[in-house]
Amino acid sequence: MSLMSNLSTSMISSSSSAFLAPTSFNSSRSQSVSVPVKSIKICKCVATPQEQQQTGLKMVLCGLFVCFEAYKTKVSRNSNIAKLQAGYLFPEVARRRAAHLLKYPNAQVISLGIGDTTEPIPDVITSAMAKRSQALSTLEGYSGYGAEQGEKALRVALASTFYSNLGIEEDDIFVSDGAKCDISRLQVVFGSNVTMAVQDPSYPAYVDSSVIMGQTGQFQKDVEKYANIEYMRCTPENGFFPDLSTVARTDIIFFCSPNNPTGAAATREQLTRLVQFAKDNGSIIVYDSAYAIYMSDDNPRSIFEIPGAKEVAIETASFSKYAGFTGVRLGWTIVPKQLLFSDGFPVAKDFNRIVCTCFNGASNIAQAGGLACLSPEGLEAMQEVIGFYKENTKIIVETFNSLGFKVYGGKNAPYVWVHFPGRNSWDVFSEILEKTHIVTTPGSGFGPGGEGFIRVSAFGHRENVLEACRRFKQLYN
């Protein structure tokens, strides 16, 4: 590139603009104007005509600044995506973690933030995936595209393992690459003209996908909410179950139990009220049961344990936290035949159409692993790993209790919800990261109801959890 500093060291005039950009100036600037070089401020290097063509940059004169304007298409940005605030929660946490490591390159950072599993997948499961993978190298074992809804054997196994005697059949089940992906596919099914309710606090994908679909208004900074979303406040005072008598009618109700981030699990009586509320309002419940296998209490593990739920509910689940499949990617969604739109058309048929249009089915290798998970040996192995994470949770809960904090969750989910009353949750996040080199998750990232809390994940190696708890005690004792 030719730098502007190569120009005359004494004077520069607009007559030399032919060197800079022959057609960039208005005629009103065509007269000769002399300016001392020391007054010129350069925004970027000057590209040669060939370089300008390659980079798509156009040089313009902005007062005394020589600036460059990138080529722009005539395609408008999706105004719904433009409504989203900052970054998605977990990438933002990761960004701050990376910035912290730049500041403290030798720090031993412990991550108890994003809910990513850490323990190895049991061999009985990975060996099944390896066998399926090796078979792809043979004529007899090779397979290409499979059914978009998932392999029949896996759907049958899911129905018999988790939904026995609940009236859920294998053709009600759609196998996918994860519950998070299915949440977005369901939003495509519902479209932009529906209204939505969500627990507050809750997993941010529900709200963000709703915003992207155009179901909401603008973000209201004074209340930290999007317009046209019904935020169902869940607090320690109401047992983390919303007061449905104060909740406005919406088309869709997102509900997660055990809840992420609070760890609270809804009782049978509470879910019965939720199903009746949906029936009274003609709403559809999207029930996220991603942590059901962590349940210790005698609470429902599926919404379909509640009579009448098949007429008003969809359930999504995942192997991510069951078997450490966060990177393998395998989940499923149940859309009962009894669930109908207002015109009587089955919701399952529309979901099937979206799946067939937007998805080519889960990896056959991942599905082999899912089938192994549901074998007697696989179920036993999964329970051992889950028991390990639950022991981590117990250690974290006992630590914060010993420090005098109000602590919630931890019994039915791998998350501990710690209260810091009167404090900004991002400030607490920053304090913990700066002083202990531990990554947590700020509660406000899950909605305005999460302000004043942090979420601590129990997913971690035991030695890291023990060391993190030692650092918590050192900070807050």
* All structural domains of the chain with their residue ranges: 2-70, 83-119+380-476, 123-378
Over residues 310-341, the pLDDT tens digits come to 999 999 999 999 999 999 999 999 999 999 99
Question: Under a CB-based contact definition with an 8 Å cutoff, are residues 200 and 448 in contact?
Answer: yes
In this prediction, residue 88 has a pLDDT band, given cuts at 50, 70 and 90, of confident
In this prediction, residue 65 has a pLDDT band, given cuts at 50, 70 and 90, of low
Rounded to whole angstroms, the Cα distance separating 157 from 172 reads 13
Rounded to whole angstroms, the Cα distance separating 196 from 229 reads 6
Helix extents (H) in 71-196: 89-103, 123-135, 152-162, 179-190
Q: How far apart are the first and last CA of the chain?
A: 59
**Which of 20-24, 32-36, 303-307, 399-403 shows the lowest per-residue confidence on average (mean pLDDT)?**
20-24
pLDDT at 3 over 50: no
> Are 83-119+380-476 and 123-378 the same fold in CATH?
no
pLDDT on residue 18: 35
pLDDT on residue 33: 44
Over residues 52-63, the pLDDT tens digits come to 445 555 555 555
In this prediction, residue 12 has a pLDDT band, given cuts at 50, 70 and 90, of very low
In this prediction, residue 14 has a pLDDT band, given cuts at 50, 70 and 90, of very low
DSSP 46: B
pLDDT on residue 32: 44
pLDDT on residue 473: 98
Q: Look up the CATH number of domain 83-119+380-476.
A: 3.90.1150.10
Going by their DSSP bridges, the two strands 438-439 and 415-419 should be labelled as: unpaired
Rounded to whole angstroms, the Cα distance separating 14 from 18 reads 8
Over residues 341-398, the pLDDT tens digits come to 999 999 999 999 999 999 999 999 999 999 999 999 999 999 999 999 999 999 999 9
pLDDT at 241 over 90: yes
CA distances (Å), origin 363, targets 151, 331, 379, 416: 10, 11, 21, 33
| CA 87 distance to own-chain centroid | 11
Q: Rounded mean pLDDT of 229-253?
A: 97
Nearest CA to 117 out of 308, 443, 388 is that of 388
Q: How many CB atoms lie within 10 A of CB 101?
A: 13
pLDDT at 21 over 50: no
Average pLDDT score over the chain: 89
pLDDT at 9 over 50: no
Residue 242: asked if its preceding bond is cis (omega within 30°), the reply is: no
pLDDT on residue 79: 94
pLDDT on residue 31: 44
Token duo for residue 302? 């599926």
Rounded to whole angstroms, the Cα distance separating 256 from 198 reads 9
The residue written with tokens 């003209």 in the block is: 193
pLDDT at 470 over 90: yes
By three-state DSSP, how is residue 346 classified? Answer: strand
Q: Look up the CATH number of domain 123-378.
A: 3.40.640.10
Over residues 448-465, the pLDDT tens digits come to 999 999 999 999 999 999
pLDDT on residue 15: 35
Q: Rounded mean pLDDT of 263-282?
A: 98
**Which of 10-14, 29-33, 237-241 shows the lowest per-residue confidence on average (mean pLDDT)?**
10-14
Q: Rounded mean pLDDT of 469-475?
A: 98
